[in-house]
Amino acid sequence: MAEKTPQLFSLLRADLLRQSLLQGHKVENLGFVRALKGCLQPRFHPFLLCRLSRASYLLGIPFLPFAFSYLNLVLFGLQITPKCEIGGGLFLPHPVGTVLGAWRIGQNATIFQQVTLGAKHLDMAFTPELLPEIFDNVTIGAGAKVLGKVKLGDHVVVGANSVVTQSFEAYSIVVGIPARKVAS
């Protein structure tokens, strides 16, 4: 999922589609009016700021990426660096108190409130070797912490309030402090 240019509109469309599907709408019914209505939903605004921050970062525009990121923090309580690569279909049901300091987040991730993704130790330089990598279709429960250079494979489910400090392969269900695999 290497990102060479900002694909802002395709990512926003994927986010809108996922949000609509989760609200029970059919994809073929997502016309212009419904998409416009989705853009006006409060849940969509954090995605928009996140995508604008990343796109302006990739374009090399000074200051603007961090202004969007700061606005996201102030308005929605979502702290995310513009350096984090995020696939389409991101869903944050309640972004307040969430810190997304991962190196990469795959497609169709669901991240609940109060989640922290980041380094185990202070890392002001955003060093990839210290940050989590989240693959596609991962669900991270409320209050969970994913810390350090760990990889969560496709379709991993992290239970609420778990603390993940090691990698888990695809289709794992992990819970606890420290998190351990309880099912596949």
pLDDT bin (cut points 50, 70, 90) of residue 71 is very high
Q: What is the pLDDT of residue 175?
A: 98
| Counted domains in the chain | 1
Rounded percentage of the chain residues whose pLDDT exceeds 70:
84
| Residue-level pLDDT at 45 | 83
pTM exceeds 0.75 for this model: yes
Q: What is the pLDDT of residue 33?
A: 56
Average pLDDT of 65-74?
95
Is 1 within a domain? no
Encode 16-43: b = buried (16+ Cβ within 10 Å), e = exposed.
Answer: bbbbbeeeeeeeeebeeeeeeebeeeeb
Question: Mean pLDDT in the chain?
Answer: 86
CATH number of the domain bearing residue 59: 2.160.10.10
pLDDT score recorded for residue 126: 81
Residues 76 and 105: beta-carbon distance below 8 Å: no
Whether residue 34 is predicted with pLDDT greater than 50 in this model: the reply is yes
Contact status, residue 46 vs residue 38, Cβ threshold 8 Å = no
* Tokens standing for residue 14: 């994927």
Structural domain includes residue 2: no
Q: In this predicted structure, what is the pLDDT of residue 2? A: 46
Distance CA 18, CA 70 (A): 25
112-140 tens-digit pLDDT: 999 999 998 887 778 888 999 999 999 99
Give the structural domain span for 62. 8-183
Residue 3 lies in a domain: no
